[in-house]
Amino acid sequence: MRIDKRFQRAIRSDSTATVMIDGLLGEPYLNIQRGFNGSVVASGGEIRFVPTHELRIKDFPAAVEKMVNCIQTAKDASGSKDQTVSDTPAKTKP
């Protein structure tokens, strides 16, 4: 893989690489998450690859259900907090 010269010094030994997809149906590309503490990777060097979990169409119903549950939990918590606050009489200054 060739890296443009202007980016070569930015890729450190603690950087990571992940294959990403551009959009829902887009082309795959390699995303390099820059590291800051390692040494500059020399020509022919390697960095750590981090695999991603692919979301498939059959995974969507479960993902949507989790989102709905999270939203409902947040609404329930918010509603009970609002209820507690509104039930508390307001204090007035004498």
Residues 2, 48, single domain; the answer is: yes
pLDDT at 88: 52
Q: Does 64 lie in the same domain as 49?
A: no
**Confidence at residue 17, expressed as pLDDT on a 0 to 100 scale:** 93
- In a shared domain, residues 49 and 60: no
Do 6 and 16 sit in the same domain of this protein?
yes
Same domain, 42 and 1: yes
> How many C-beta neighbours within 10 Å does residue 14 have?
15
AA identity, residue 24: L
Nearest CA among 38, 46, 55 for reference residue 1: 46
pTM, rounded to two decimals:
0.51
How many domains, in total, are found in the chain? 2
Give the pLDDT confidence score for residue 16 in this predicted structure.
94
Cα separation, 88 vs 83, in Å, equals 9
**∠ at Cα 19 (45, 42), nearest 5°?**
10
| Residue 94 within any structural domain of the chain | no
Q: Looking at the structure, do residues 43 and 64 belong to the same domain, yes or no? A: no
Shared-domain flag, residues 33 and 5 = yes
One digit per residue, the tens of pLDDT, for the chain of length 94 reads 888 889 888 999 999 999 988 877 788 888 999 999 999 998 889 999 998 876 677 778 888 899 999 999 988 887 655 554 455 555 555 5
Query: How far, in Å, CA of 94 to CA of 84, rounded?
Result: 24
Q: Residue 10: which domain range? A: 1-54
- 32, 68: one domain: no
Angle at 10 between CA 5 and CA 12, to 5 degrees: 120
> Is the CB of residue 36 less than 8 Å from the CB of residue 11?
no
